[in-house]
A and B are shown apart, each in its own frame.
Chain A
Amino acid sequence: MMGRALLAAILAGVAAGLLLTVVQMWRVTPLILEAETYETGAVPDHAGWTLPGGGRLILAHAGHDEEGHEAWAPADGIERTAYTALANILTGAAYSLILLAGMMASGRPVTAATGLVWGGLGFLVFQLAPAAGLAPELPGMPAADLFARQVWWWATVAATAGGIACIALARPVAVKALGAVLIALPHIVGAPHPESHASDVPAGLAASFAANSLAASALFWIVLGGLLGWAVARQMSEMTKTAEA
């Protein structure tokens, strides 16, 4: 059971990741490429900052390795698209496995239809809740410290998932109320933001990117949930038939 369930989840994730790639190429990536033309200017470039006295401060996240060599990056065009597709497929597999874990842990019946609900919950937990604090950002837009944002992202995902579990799975009203508090908590604390949002990237481009990025993700999650629910339900019914034979 274990191996087949994991494989089914990975395959559902790969399929949803491929669909996401197509939608992104159409609606999202062109906006990223356009934003990159604004990436110089007020925003420090990726190579770091020049210190007083002429030294260079090179960040670990900059486009150079520790010895100052230019780090590898895929060439623009087919190579860059191929790596994006690969990253999307791996993201799809990762989210699919996490969704499978939720389905199994909940003990609720799984069908293609309930899979759609699971997909919707995945969208709420991994996309919408984090985006409410940290809107999907374009290259060239100022942002707070990367590590602080990553910590807030994970904390928000964990709190939202935990909150939904409390509301959906627990009976006592007090636990359901605790779930609601958990969902609200990251937004009461607030996401890390830069001192100024001033940027050379046009506001309309950023708004269009945030909307299209979330719309593409919503489609991805709904398709992923439906596919995974269908695959898991099929396996369960095959197992039951085998057990009866």
Chain B
Amino acid sequence: MLTQSQSVSPSVSLGVQERIKVAAAALALGLVLLGGVGFAGASVLHNAAHDTRHAVGFPCH
């Protein structure tokens, strides 16, 4: 049986500040990656990621 101290809630285990820091870093890194793979206009990037862009529904062409 789980006791309160073993709870896996981030609100219990982590302070608000720490959670927001992790969230901000993860969001920034995730958006940069997503922009590069799915949306960058350079022909080389487009051609390399072409099938992925079509298959996962990013606007392509």
Q: Is the CB of A134 within 8 A of B13?
A: no
Interface check A91, CB cutoff 8 A: yes
Within 8 A of B (CB), among A96-139: 96-98, 100-105, 107-111, 127, 130-131, 134, 136-139
Q: Chain B: interface secondary structure? A: helix
Q: Is the CB of A71 within 8 A of B43?
A: yes
Q: Is the CB of A91 within 8 A of B26?
A: no
Within 8 A of B (CB), among A51-102: 60-65, 71-74, 80, 83-84, 86-88, 90-91, 93-98, 100-102
Most buried by B among A62, A72, A150: A150
Q: Which residues of B contact A233 (CB under 8 A)?
A: 8
Picked from B8, B27, B55, the residue with its CB within 8 Å of the CB of A109 is: B8
Interface check B1, CB cutoff 8 A: no
Q: Which residues of A contact B10 (CB under 8 A)?
A: 103-104, 107-110, 232, 236
Interface check A216, CB cutoff 8 A: yes
Q: Is the CB of B37 within 8 A of A90?
A: yes
Q: Which residues of B contact A29 (CB under 8 A)?
A: 51, 55
Q: Mark B33-55, 1 if CB is under 8 A from A, else 0.
A: 11011110101101111111111
How far is the CB of B48 from the nearest CB of chain A, in Å? 5
How far is the CB of A139 from the nearest CB of chain B, in Å? 7
Interface check A213, CB cutoff 8 A: yes
Q: Is the CB of B55 within 8 A of A28?
A: yes
Q: Which residues of B contact A80 (CB under 8 A)?
A: 51
* Contacts A63-B43, A104-B10; A91 near B52 (Cβ below 8 A): yes
* Contacts A6-B29, A24-B51; A101 near B57 (Cβ below 8 A): no
Q: Is the CB of B57 within 8 A of A134?
A: yes
How far is the CB of A90 from the nearest CB of chain B, in Å? 5
Interface check A32, CB cutoff 8 A: yes
Q: Please measure, in the bound complex, the distance between the C-alpha atom of A137 and the C-alpha atom of B57, giving whole angstroms.
A: 7
Q: Please measure, in the bound complex, the distance between the C-alpha atom of A109 and the C-alpha atom of B57, giving whole angstroms.
A: 31
Q: Is the CB of A100 within 8 A of B26?
A: yes
**Nearest-neighbor residue (CB-CB) of A46 within chain B:** B61
* Contacts A101-B24, A107-B10, A110-B9; A216 near B55 (Cβ below 8 A): yes
Question: Taking beta carbons and an 8 Å cutoff, which residues of B are in contact with A?
Answer: 5-14, 16, 18-27, 29-31, 33-34, 36-39, 41, 43-44, 46-61
Question: Taking beta carbons and an 8 Å cutoff, which residues of A are in contact with B?
Answer: 1-2, 5-6, 9, 20, 24, 28-29, 32, 46, 60-65, 71-74, 80, 83-84, 86-88, 90-91, 93-98, 100-105, 107-111, 127, 130-131, 134, 136-139, 143, 146, 149-150, 153, 213-214, 216-217, 232-233, 236-237, 239-241, 243-244
